[in-house]
Amino acid sequence: MNLMMKKLNLFLTMLAFVLVLMPYGYGYAFAGEAVPVSTVKVRYHSLESTLELKGDISPLAEVTVYSKVSGVIQRLYVEKGNHVKKGDMIAVVEHRFELAQRKQVIAQVESARVAVRQAQAAVRVAKASLARAMAQLENARLEKTRAENLRKDKSMPKQRYDSVIAQYKVAKAGKELAEANLASAREAVLQARAGYARAKAALEQLDVRIADFTIRAPISGVISGRFIDEGAMDSPQLPIVSIANVDMLKVLSQVSEGDISKVRKGTEATISVDAYPGEHFKGEVAIVNPTLDPRTHTMGFEVYVRGQKALSLLKPGMFARIILYLGTRNVLAVPRECLLRLPGTGVYYAFVVENGVAKKRPDIKLGMKKGDLVEIVSGLREGEEVVVTGQGLLTTGTPVIVRSSEKEGKVQ
């Protein structure tokens, strides 16, 4: 008796379940009747191809400024957030010893300059002396020639002749001495000039060192960090400030090995961030790395973002979403409502209608998505009638009645 009661209760429960499901269409499956469905035909659509990636916003350039010398920070001219131009003073390191040394070197330079002038004056004197010696030698040569002719005629006494010859020899020796003095004076000029050049080089070298005590901005931008205070001891190992060039921002991202052919210099992009929902900022791919990272097999690239609005809202360090616009393609596509997914997998399937009967198309490969349309890479053919509503009641072989047919999806 108890067994019969249990069977009766089970029958009544199943009957109630069927009666409840009948208004929602499940009665068709139980009754073997045709299931009403809506369909759409697989057709070609012109879809804009995009690639969605993620990245980090960075300044166009950022440098950390170090001092080339050690010493106490005498003056610090900037604070975090200050705008600076290339060449502006950032800080000055105390350098009194070098300034005192410079005064000494300047005195040495001036002394060397005076020595050059004196040597040049000595050259002028030596040239004048040589000119006089050459004139005297010429006169002595003429007297010597006349004396030799008179001596041949025996018209000049030997004593007089010997005196003329002696005067000629003295004049010749005087010319040679004047030439030697001129050569020596010219050598003195060269040495004086060399001394002046050495002194001037020492001054220039010291000026270069003194210039190192004044730290200047290597780029134009904003002080993004300050790491030292006025009066602190500095060294070349300690950073002073960091400067970020935010006249333009860049978004650093990577693309997988399979998509590297899609990313090219000049590709248009749209940037969005969580801080400003609904805001989109235009940019373009400016730099594409020529090689892949061997560890991740990804290729890095940079998107440059310009525009006053973008520069005022976007900040370095923000997380960004990137959409790259790769152009339009004519592809087979269906509304995404046509597609069903096996639970716990990435495998999609759909039902098509052939001769009033539903047939399952398993393992459909998908491509890009745009609006409510999804590209069909494989698994469906052009012109096939795909079920878009009512497919939850279907299995392969279920008879169907097409109550409405949608001709195309929408691209948003």
Residue 4 pLDDT: 56
In the predicted structure, residue 18 carries a pLDDT above the cut 50: no
**Residues 6 or more apart whose Cβ sits within 8 Å of residue 95:** 69, 71, 210, 213
Q: What is the pLDDT of residues 163-210, one digit of tens each?
A: 888 999 998 999 999 999 999 999 999 999 999 999 999 999 999 999
Q: With bands split at pLDDT 50, 70 and 90, how would you rate the model's confidence at 405?
A: low
Assess if CATH 1.10.287.620 describes domain 96-212: yes
Residue 23 pLDDT: 39
Q: Which one of 141-145, 316-320, 345-349 scores highest in mean pLDDT?
A: 316-320
Gap between the Cα atoms of 348 and 362, Å rounded: 7
In the predicted structure, residue 79 carries a pLDDT above the cut 60: yes
* Fold matches, 51-65+244-329 and 96-212: no
Pairing state of beta strands 400-406 and 35-41? Answer: parallel
Domain ranges (residues) in the chain: 51-65+244-329, 69-94+214-234, 96-212
In the predicted structure, residue 33 carries a pLDDT above the cut 70: yes
Largest Cα span, the chain: 187
Gap between the Cα atoms of 115 and 46, Å rounded: 87
Gap between the Cα atoms of 321 and 305, Å rounded: 13
Segment 245-257 mean pLDDT:
92
Burial state string for 300-310 with b = 16 or more CB within 10 A and e = fewer than 16: bbbbebeeeeb
Residue 30 pLDDT: 47
Q: What is the pLDDT of residues 38-71, one digit of tens each?
A: 999 999 988 888 889 999 999 998 999 999 999 9
In the predicted structure, residue 82 carries a pLDDT above the cut 90: yes
User: What's the whole-model pTM score?
Assistant: 0.59
DSSP 123-167: HHHHHHHHHHHHHHHHHHHHHHHHHHHHHHTT-S-HHHHHHHHHH
In the predicted structure, residue 346 carries a pLDDT above the cut 50: yes
In the predicted structure, residue 363 carries a pLDDT above the cut 50: yes
Q: What is the pLDDT of residues 275-288, one digit of tens each?
A: 999 999 999 999 99
Gap between the Cα atoms of 231 and 204, Å rounded: 28
In the predicted structure, residue 6 carries a pLDDT above the cut 80: no
Which secondary structure element, helix H or strand E, spans residue 328, and what is its range?
strand 319-335
Q: With bands split at pLDDT 50, 70 and 90, how would you rate the model's confidence at 370?
A: confident
In the predicted structure, residue 31 carries a pLDDT above the cut 70: no
The domain defined by 69-94+214-234 folds into OB fold (Dihydrolipoamide Acetyltransferase, E2P) (2.40.50)
Cβ atoms of 77 and 240 within 8 Å: the answer is no
Q: With bands split at pLDDT 50, 70 and 90, how would you rate the model's confidence at 26?
A: very low
Residue 8 pLDDT: 53
**Of 105-114, 143-152, 301-310, which gets the smallest average pLDDT?**
143-152
User: Collapsing DSSP states into helix, strand and coil, what is residue 256?
Assistant: strand
Angle at the Cα of 356 from the Cα atoms of 355 and 361, rounded to 5 degrees: 80
In the predicted structure, residue 83 carries a pLDDT above the cut 60: yes
Q: What is the pLDDT of residues 203-220, one digit of tens each?
A: 999 999 999 999 999 999
In the predicted structure, residue 412 carries a pLDDT above the cut 80: no
Residue 159 pLDDT: 87
Q: Which CATH number fits domain 51-65+244-329: 2.40.30.170, 3.40.190.10, 1.10.3720.10, 3.40.50.2000?
A: 2.40.30.170
